[in-house]
DNA sequence: TCTGGGGTCCTAGGACCC
DNA sequence: TCTGGGGTCCTAGGACCC
């Protein structure tokens, strides 16, 4: 059996832990640049605020109902996530962290005769230790445990816990889950399935395999098996190393000058390089893209990207900058209002296995030492104090974050204080 | 009339996830 | 005025090889 534990409205719940006055009130958390609502409290959902709605479109609802609004505070959420996972690990040693707010647990080696009780115990412990409410779903496969988790949230009587461990519990769940709510079925496949008469997960289980294979490829076939209780998605206890790493942002304001776009690309390149070094990987290719704002119909549009192979796989900021700047020179066209750029490093491999280039002119050893020192210095300050010339911090394209809460758990100065009355 | 067969690698695009 | 960011996997089709 597999458990899926998922934090309820995670970002909102994190904000509430340090600001209890927000309990029972409508609260939302916005995406980068304060763009869209990406987390909503139940009260905010009840007001009709949908996932991904742009903030400017719900201005009126926010004002009218006094919705509390926050910018995303990933420093806080990452740390809270780590704490939640730690508590869960004490119950289930074999786990797979699936996202910032979700974790799978392998129950097969656990001696526990009442899985429903286990689920409730976990829920209670996480709440007591971290203040974060979670839901727990238990079933035979990952796909079914996702479904059980969703079902646990829906059914009030279950109190945030659902164990689809008996045939009755399983079929009740399948019958009341819409096909579009199955993990792995997106809007495209949902439409296709419904048009062909498959409306619930129970319908889908009975679908002919060849048809699914033809219309949804092997992905669909796997999904079908998972629904039948045959595990097809492996349990990955150790995090597989990344294959790509990307850093991209929309600008706080539109940008026209090449100088400013260069600064952004340089900063994103250096961020990719740092992530690479943290992974212990080197990249073999670099990809740079640049784009205008597609929502501004009145503006001329320009989207372009370029991928450059690196002569020698590297994670050196200096090396990567050389290529990303060259890529930008090839991409940039004056006369457009740019909204976003990004840098992606691709074809990653462990830094141990680097093949030296035949005509390699760079002193790798020296570069490595330099990067190591750079990371240490910047790491100890908690921000980039030492930077490359091209980076520079120009406020013009900085993120918009007007409703940011504090780093309550990671910065001593911002720790909550308890006052005596 | 009619233009081999089999394999690999790479890329772009589509679908999905949180 | 204002619309997130970071990933994965799969397939089809082209280039190239013998």
**Cα→Cα distances A33→A156, A342, A395, Å:** 35, 15, 13
Mean pLDDT of A388-393: 62
Residue nearest to nucleotide B18 (CA to C1'): A99
Mean pLDDT of A247-268: 92
Tell whether the model's pLDDT for residue A360 goes beyond 60.
no
Task: For residue A220, say whether its CB is under 7 Å from any atom of strand C.
Answer: no
Task: For residue A233, say whether its CB is under 7 Å from any atom of strand C.
Answer: no
Nearest nucleotide by C1' position to the A287 CA atom: B11
Gap between the Cα atoms of A337 and A300, Å rounded = 8
Bases along strand C below 7 A from a protein CB: 1-11
Nearest nucleotide by C1' position to the A55 CA atom: C2
Gap between the Cα atoms of A296 and A299, Å rounded = 6
Gap between the Cα atoms of A87 and A321, Å rounded = 41
β-strands A338-346, A161-163: how paired? Answer: unpaired
List the beta bridge partners of residue A340.
A250, A291
Nearest nucleotide by C1' position to the A192 CA atom: B15
Interatomic distance A144 CA / B7 C1' (Å): 39
Per residue in A325-348, pLDDT (tens digit) is 999 999 999 999 999 999 999 999
Gap between the Cα atoms of A80 and A408, Å rounded = 10
Gap between the Cα atoms of A103 and A246, Å rounded = 23
Chain A residues 264 to 293 whose Cβ lies within 7 Å of strand C are 275, 293
Per residue in A184-210, pLDDT (tens digit) is 999 999 999 999 999 999 999 999 999
Residue A128: how many other CB atoms lie within 10 Å: 9
**Weakest-pLDDT range from A159-168, A307-316, A387-396:** A387-396
Which residues contact residue A152 at a Cβ distance below 8 angstroms, ignoring those fewer than 6 apart?
A135, A136, A137, A158, A160, A161, A162
Nearest nucleotide by C1' position to the A309 CA atom: B10
- DSSP assignment of A65-88 equals HT-EEEE--HHHHHHHHHHHHHHH
Contact A38, A50 (CB under 8 A): no
With CA atoms as reference, report the closest residue to A70 among A398, A405, A406. A405
φ/ψ (deg, to 5) at A176: -105, 15
Task: For residue A244, say whether its CB is under 7 Å from any atom of strand C.
Answer: yes
- DSSP assignment of A164-199 equals --SHHHHHHHHHTSBGGGSTT--HHHHHHHHHTT--
pTM check: above 0.75? yes
pLDDT for position A352 = 80
φ/ψ (deg, to 5) at A343: -130, 135
Nearest nucleotide by C1' position to the A101 CA atom: B18
Gap between the Cα atoms of A59 and A45, Å rounded = 15
Q: Torsion over CA of A261, A73, A80 and A114, rounded to 10 degrees?
A: -100
φ/ψ (deg, to 5) at A39: -145, 140
């Amino acid at each position: 059996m597999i458990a899926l534990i998922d934090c309820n409205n995670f970002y909102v719940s994190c904000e509430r832990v340090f600001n209890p006055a927000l309990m029972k009130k409508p609260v939302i958390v916005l995406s980068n640049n304060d763009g869209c609502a990406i987390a909503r409290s139940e009260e905010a959902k009840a007001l009709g605020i949908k996932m991904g709605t742009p903030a400017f479109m719900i201005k009126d609802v926010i004002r009218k109902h006094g919705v509390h609004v926050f910018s995303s505070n990933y420093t806080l959420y990452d740390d809270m996530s780590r704490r939640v996972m730690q508590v869960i690990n004490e119950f289930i040693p074999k786990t797979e962290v699936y996202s910032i707010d979700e974790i799978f647990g392998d129950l097969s080696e656990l001696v526990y005769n009442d899985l429903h009780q286990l689920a409730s115990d976990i829920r209670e412990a996480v709440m007591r230790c971290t203040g974060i409410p979670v839901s727990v779903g238990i079933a035979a496969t990952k796909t079914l445990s996702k479904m059980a988790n969703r079902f646990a949230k829906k059914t009030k009587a279950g109190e945030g816990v659902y164990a689809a461990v008996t045939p009755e519990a399983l079929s009740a769940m399948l019958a009341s889950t819409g096909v579009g709510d199955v993990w792995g079925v997106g809007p495209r496949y949902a439409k296709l399935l419904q048009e062909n008469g498959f409306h619930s997960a129970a319908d889908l289980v009975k679908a002919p395999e060849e048809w699914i294979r033809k219309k949804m490829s092997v992905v669909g076939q796997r999904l079908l098996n998972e629904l039948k209780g045959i595990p097809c998605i492996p349990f990955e206890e150790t995090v597989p190393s990344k294959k790509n790493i990307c850093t991209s942002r929309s600008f706080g304001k539109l940008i026209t000058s090449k100088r400013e776009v260069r600064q952004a690309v340089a900063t994103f390149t250096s961020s990719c390089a740092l992530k690479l070094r943290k992974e212990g990987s080197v990249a073999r290719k670099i990809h740079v893209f640049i784009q205008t704002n597609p929502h501004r119909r009145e503006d001329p549009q320009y989207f372009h990207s370029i991928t450059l192979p690196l002569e020698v796989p590297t994670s050196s900021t200096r090396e990567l900058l050389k290529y990303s700047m060259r890529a930008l020179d090839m991409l940039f066209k004056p006369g457009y209002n740019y909204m976003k750029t990004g840098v992606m490093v691709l074809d990653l491999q462990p830094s141990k296995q680097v093949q030296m280039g035949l005509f390699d002119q760079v002193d790798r050893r020296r570069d490595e030492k330099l990067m190591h020192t750079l990371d240490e210095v910047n790491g100890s300050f908690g921000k980039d104090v030492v930077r490359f010339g091209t980076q520079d911090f120009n406020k013009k394209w900085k993120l918009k974050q007007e409703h940011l809460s504090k780093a309550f758990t990671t910065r001593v100065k911002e720790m909550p204080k308890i006052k005596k009355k």
